[in-house]
Chain A
Amino acid sequence: MALFSQTSQQGFQALLWKCRMFWPVSRCHQLFAVSVSIPDREKVSYFSFVTSSSTAFPVDPKGTDAFPTKKRSEIDYEEEKRWDEETKEIPEGKLHFSSSVGAPKKRLTSQVVSRHKFTYVQPPEKPLRAEEWNRLRESFQSPEIFEEVMFNNMVRYNSPIDVAKSLLTHVAKSNGDIAYNLLLKYLALCVQQGQTSEIRDVYDIMKIRFRILESGAYNLLIKGLSNSDEWRMALTLLEEVKKIMIPSRINYESCIRAASRHQEMNLAFELYHEMLAKDLVPTLDILQAFFDFSRGMKGAELQKELFGILLYLRENQIYPHKTFMRSIKLWFESIPGGNWRGHLTNIKDSGQCPVCNHQLEDSDLTEEEYNNLRERIIRDVIHGTDTFRKTSPQEFEAFQTFVENRLPFDIVIDGLNVSHMKPRRLQCENLFDAVNCLAKDNARLLVLGRKHMLINSSNWKREIMKEMQNKADFFFAENISEDDAFLLYATLRSGQHCKFVTRDFLRDHKACLSDSVTRHLFRKWQRGHQIVFSPSAEGKHINFMPAFSYDCVVQTTGDTWHIPYKDLFEEKYSYRVPRKWLCIQQQR
């Protein structure tokens, strides 16, 4: 249900967005004033929604009651998602916070259900007295885990906190003590309902009762407190966590959100840099929070930091999603005196931005990067731990001399991959078509294959092979060697202009590269140099999609920014790059 409401809201939002494009600039300030007054617990990502909607409708003075029901359900949904994330590590059946609204499907598929059907017990609606709890407990199938199961279900059904309290009282009175895991679950319930004073109390009790706390409790506490007025306490808790382990990125997220929500941007950025220094990867929500809460704020330092985040996206080839993109856009447009304007657009194949006519950068690597990548491909992909795994030293040497003698090539073709393009045709015919199609402008072709292609067989006709060998250079590897590695080598050796043809995504080769910097280089190079057989041309002709003439990353020229983004529900394939862009330019 929650999911549905979100999608519908997306569409609604998109509609509003269109209207928003034509609003006069002066409204921005008014909008901002509206968004500030939203209570702390609201999620940041929906600010954009509130701001845009409240202008389309008569502006509500409080700004908070615009869509109370919808917002609430969305928050639930978001939070529950987090719940699952955070408690994944805790073994099933023990502490499984499933959600109350958004996850009926998950409930069905989860193994817990199939194994212990009895775990589904509707918790009582009102606080019970000791005798009543006792009665319930006795009627329960396995009384020893009754409290645990009951608490799990309270979290699941979001029971009133008084019910949980009455059960705790019962446990405390009958046992004289409450086990840590029960306290933890009670804490989870409090956090779920935002009961700040209760969270504090539980923390105090835990502190008295136990020497140290473990990460699960800290996660809950930080999360719970960061959403309340006592968010500074979450920061001190974060310090406590640091003493015993590296905090998770979700911990940082809570704190950073809390800090930036209270306009303490310096503190937030301090935390952000701290987590980067610890090699934690910030969630997109953190980055988005910075843009959301810096809206309309002045300061060169702040601006520099936010540009730094955009450059972080560029460096790591991260594409923001739609709501994040909107936050970025709104922030740019809200910079006082900045005169930035943002437009959504699709970039043409030529790489020219239709809005500002700016030519996007290509994905050519610098000389140094290029050489570096080539060395690493030879070292990690071709040789790896053992040269014999992919080829043999003799064969590689033979290939090297072969390539050196015929340099440079324009297009390198993975013969076997291309020969499987159309399953109905003979493999050699496929290859023949491809070679003919690519050999147009006197391009120098290199086709890589394996020796078995030379043996006259039903799939590989000798005459056709002969004819092809007149048009292109061929290299045949051993039947058990990997030709992809050769493909990469030959292309890289020929220089930046050289492209290669294969439908392979080369993910396994990318995985051979040992560090992320080189992997990013590889991906960048692959985007600009791989020619793919286009699937739409299933008919008579073979068509190839040319390699991208521009590079799909966040990029800037100082007075323009181009930011690729993806839709929220787009499937995320690592090889697929977004086609939609946000163009931001500064008007002089």
Chain B
Amino acid sequence: MQSANVLLKKIIRNSVLPFAAQHGMKKDLFPLSRTLSLSLCLKQDNSASPSEKLDLDAWKKVMKSGLQEEGSETVSEQKELSTLAAAREILEMWRLAGRSVPENITEEQLKTFMECPSKSAKKKYLKYLHLKELYKKNDKRKMDEKRERRLETQKQASETDETKRNSFMYLWANTMDKAYSWRVAQSMIFGQPLIFDMSYEKDMSVREVANTVRQIVLSEGCNRRSVDPFHVHFCNLKDDSLYHKEFIKHYREAWGKLLITVTDQCYTDIFPKDKLIYLTADSPKVMKTFDHDKIYIVGSMVDKSIKTGVSLARAKRLGLETAALPLEKYLLWNSGAKNLTLDQMMHILLTLKDTGDWKKALEFVPKRKYCGFVSRPVHELKKTLNLINTLKLGKRQEEARRQFAKSYSKKLTQK
């Protein structure tokens, strides 16, 4: 009973009075209801068997007691929070509430967060940071595990100390690099040009530019390692552009030593117009074969929001020929947009250049985007599809499939 009294006092002191004073509420209502509920609670306790004594409000006592002094301090401090610090606090609370919010956030990120125009933009940005943090943590954990494992094997190796002999020479990475560089240097003199058009900066957000540059770095890498590399041109690349900054972030000092041609000129100034072909998924023309005498242009653009016809518009403006990959012709398309990433494009073009085999080249289209290759004529395909369906599925699905195959063949004949 005494404890209950103490609790009651505490409650009144802590909670009700400030509010009652603030809003001038019915002061008597509160304590009354509280005693009522308390006495109810006590009654319950008495009626229950002695072994089952359960103080249901004990948690409140715990929560209020240990933290009282601290609490009073913080309340007085609360007013003098700068906006940034306040934002940081809200983030912390969101994290406690279990939302996807990063644990650590830098001043710069916090500013970006504050500048987000809408609530959903803020949420998205936080989620992005959160995931980034998770990945980083995971990577670090894996690295640590790896190091531990390595140390262990070293220890074991040192115990069973035995020098290994090998008649082969190791081809170290820098040797390989030299060989690759030699090839690329040759391609810069004799190779077929491939152009990345860097004129889409204004159509993209900062993150999209960053993604674009990453894809280009990947494609440059795979070009360097290929048997017969392209002579890569970065056209329309201005010196102080976002692209440029991102490139330097990725390559650091290697940027100056890359075996590619970087220019702020347009490709139409460098090459004859009739040799240029702009590759864009919006093009009405479908590429039939890879032409070794033409110069292909790839637009360096990632569009996360749907912006159709931007690169087609560019080609139209300059009066260039355009082409799209024959994805429909060779693949049973499943889902996803027909625009591919820049490194996938590079893989496909390199394979085409080496072999001219569409099937091999289109292996680089992500598997989730298509169901399978169209290897045989469509009517044969249709037959097998039907056969499979009658064996596997009921008749209804068969009908649906037939419909699909029909419309598919129609599409093909139209092309």
Contact = CB atoms under 8 A, between A and B. Distances in A.
Interface string A165-207: 1101101110011111100100000000000010011011101
Interface string A469-503: 00000000001100000000000000000000000
Given A212-B89, A388-B317, A389-B310, A176 B56 contact: no
Interface string B165-208: 00000000000000000000000000000000000000100000
Contact of A386 (B37, B66, B78, B310): B310
A233 interface: yes
Contact of A211 (B34, B57, B64, B78): B78
Interface string A213-224: 111110000000
A169 B52 contact: no
A209 interface: yes
B3 interface: no
A197 B16 CA distance: 11
Interface string A387-423: 1111010000000000000000000000000000000
Contact of B98 (A91, A176, A392): A91
A277 interface: no
Nearest to A208: B71
A211 B74 contact: yes
Contacts of A245: 90, 119
A213 B93 contact: yes
Contacts of A197: 33-34, 37
B67 interface: yes
A89 B99 contact: yes
B15 interface: yes
A387 B317 CA distance: 9
Given A181-B98, A212-B78, A169 B56 contact: yes
A89 B123 CA distance: 8
Q: Which range contains the number of B residues in contact with the other chain?
A: 35 or more
Contact of A201 (B23, B60, B309): B60
B221 interface: no
Interface in B58-83: 58-60, 62-64, 66-68, 71, 74-75, 77-78
B19 A233 contact: yes
Contacts of B284: 479-480
Interface residues of A, number: 57
A212 to B, nearest CB: 5
Interface in B287-310: 308-310
A210 interface: yes
B94 A178 contact: no
Interface in A112-153: 127, 129, 148
Given A127-B56, A197-B33, A197-B37, A90 B99 contact: yes
Given A173-B62, A176-B66, A480-B284, A90 B89 contact: no
A248 B100 CA distance: 19
Most A CB contacts (10 A, CB to CB) among B89, B203, B312, B316 go to B316
B123 A179 contact: no
A465 B23 CA distance: 80
Given A173-B62, A178-B59, A204 B97 contact: no
A245 to B, nearest CB: 7
B97 to A, nearest CB: 5
Given A90-B98, A91-B99, A180 B93 contact: yes
Nearest to B58: A169
Nearest to A186: B59
B253 interface: no
B131 to A, nearest CB: 11
Nearest to A216: B97
Contacts of A56: none
A246 B120 CA distance: 13
B307 to A, nearest CB: 8
A222 B161 CA distance: 72
A210 B25 CA distance: 25
Contacts of A213: 93
Nearest to B322: A480
Nearest to B78: A211
B71 A129 contact: no
A213 B15 CA distance: 16
B309 A389 contact: yes
A178 B63 CA distance: 7
B54 interface: yes
A472 B19 CA distance: 78
Interface string A67-103: 0000000000000000000000111001100000000
A246 B118 CA distance: 10
B393 interface: no
A181 B96 contact: yes
B314 interface: yes
B412 to A, nearest CB: 16
A198 B71 CA distance: 20
A568 interface: no
Given A179-B96, A211-B78, A173 B56 contact: no
Interface in B258-317: 284, 308-310, 312-314, 316-317
A175 to B, nearest CB: 9
B60 A166 contact: no
B390 interface: no
A388 B62 CA distance: 69
Interface in B79-115: 86, 89-90, 93-94, 96-100
Nearest to A129: B54
B93 to A, nearest CB: 4
A210 to B, nearest CB: 7
B290 to A, nearest CB: 23
A329 B397 CA distance: 51
A244 interface: yes
A162 interface: yes
Contacts of B316: 388, 392, 480
A180 B54 contact: no
B118 to A, nearest CB: 10
A230 interface: yes
A319 to B, nearest CB: 26
B156 interface: no
Contact of A214 (B16, B52, B68, B90): B90
Contacts of B159: none
A580 interface: no
B160 interface: no
Contacts of B78: 211-212
A236 interface: yes
Contacts of B99: 89-91, 94, 216
A19 to B, nearest CB: 43
A173 B58 contact: yes
Contacts of A479: 284
Given A214-B94, A480-B284, A205 B123 contact: no
Contacts of B37: 197
B23 A236 contact: yes
B380 interface: no
Nearest to B283: A480
B55 interface: yes
A244 B64 contact: no
Contacts of B75: 207
B14 interface: yes
A123 B338 CA distance: 49
A426 B52 CA distance: 85
Given A95-B97, A212-B89, A200 B59 contact: no
Contact of A204 (B15, B25, B59, B314): B15
16 contacts: A127-B56, A162-B56, A169-B58, A177-B63, A180-B93, A180-B97, A197-B33, A210-B96, A212-B86, A214-B96, A245-B119, A248-B119, A388-B314, A389-B309, A392-B317, A479-B284
Given A127-B56, A213-B93, 18 more contacts: A129-B52, A148-B98, A169-B58, A173-B58, A177-B62, A177-B63, A197-B33, A201-B60, A204-B11, A205-B63, A205-B64, A208-B64, A214-B94, A236-B23, A245-B119, A388-B314, A388-B316, A389-B310
7 tightest A-B CB contacts, nearest first = A204-B15, A388-B313, A214-B93, A180-B96, A172-B59, A94-B98, A172-B62
